[in-house]
Amino acid sequence: MADPNATRRHTVTNSRLLATALVAVLASGTFAHAQTAPVPPAPPFMDVTMLLKHLSSLGFGDVREIERKSDKLYEVTARDAEGLRWEMSVDARTGEILRKEPD
């Protein structure tokens, strides 16, 4: 004769497995969503006024030329605090001096 509690144990075990699987699926969905969150856009480029202020904060003045080469790059000719003239490539988004050569 079959054990009448076997069916009940089987149902309880299946319910637990189903609940565990459901939790795993929900957790993996949340994790996958967190991984595929959109990347924030790059900061906009510095306008000339912002660039002049930034270069001044770095000790450059007497800016003779600013040429926008692309949406990512400015070419600048300016003097440092010692009066030396420099030609520089400047990142248009961050203001980082990428290249600096005596002019």
- pLDDT of the chain, 103 residues: tens digit per residue: 555 555 555 554 556 655 565 556 556 655 555 567 788 776 788 999 999 999 999 999 999 999 999 989 999 999 999 999 999 999 999 999 999 999 8
Residues 96, 46 contacting (CB under 8 angstroms): no
What's the rounded Cα separation, in Å, for the pair 92 and 74?
6
Collect all residues with Cβ–Cβ distance below 8 Å to 63 and sequence separation of at least 6: 52, 55, 76, 77, 78
Q: What is the pLDDT of residue 15?
A: 63
Q: What is the pLDDT of residue 41?
A: 79
What pTM, to 2 d.p., does this model score? 0.58
